[in-house]
Amino acid sequence: MSDFIKICSTDDVAKGTVVRAAIDALEIALVHAEDGHFYAIRDECSHANIALSEGEVEGCTLECWLHGSRFDLRTGQPTGLPATVAVPVYPVEIRDGFVFVSLTPHSSVTPHSSVTPHSSAAPHSSATPFNGVN
């Protein structure tokens, strides 16, 4: 069984913006980066436990609004202080105009808090987009 979960339509996330979505207990920031690709990253800054989805997208990075830490959307690695710990990133697939996100982290980065992603999706798993995205 695939562990990819449908999040939203590609039209729901304008280029250069980010939306927050919950997949079971996992919160992700879904980004439509300026390079035209979609990226999914754990929606929690590793420095201050702040929602990254509230930050600014610049190129292929996402900035935490509180202290300015930046994270590479492709790897989860911090590209700007004060963060020094990476955050997990998740594979994204586009199918028939919809964005699907895997529950298994793409990189070797593991979550730094008590919420951990699932290794496979249960039949009842679902995504709940925030920010009015259906």
Task: Find residue 98's DSSP bridge partners.
Answer: 9, 95
The CATH number of the domain holding residue 34 is 2.102.10.10
The total of structural domains in the chain comes to 1
108: in domain: yes
pLDDT in tens, 29-85: 999 999 999 999 999 999 998 999 999 999 999 999 889 899 999 999 999 899 999
Residues contacting 6, CB < 8 A, separation 6+: 98, 99, 100, 127
Rounded to an integer, what distance in angstroms lies between the CA atom of residue 84 and that of residue 31? 21
- The CA distances from residue 34 to 21, 68, 84, 100, 124, in Å, are 20, 19, 24, 19, 33
**pLDDT(106) > 80:** no
Rounded to an integer, what distance in angstroms lies between the CA atom of residue 100 and that of residue 95? 7
134: in domain: no
85: in domain: yes
Domain containing residue 118: 4-129
48: in domain: yes
pLDDT band at 109 (very low <50, low <70, confident <90, very high): low
Q: Give the model's pLDDT for residue 43.
A: 97
84: in domain: yes
- Average pLDDT rounded to a whole number, residues 6-26: 94
Percent of the chain with pLDDT over 70: 78
Residues contacting 90, CB < 8 A, separation 6+: 28, 40, 41, 42, 101, 102, 103, 104, 105, 106, 117
Rounded to an integer, what distance in angstroms lies between the CA atom of residue 60 and that of residue 102? 19
- Average pLDDT rounded to a whole number, residues 116-127: 35
pTM of structure: 0.79
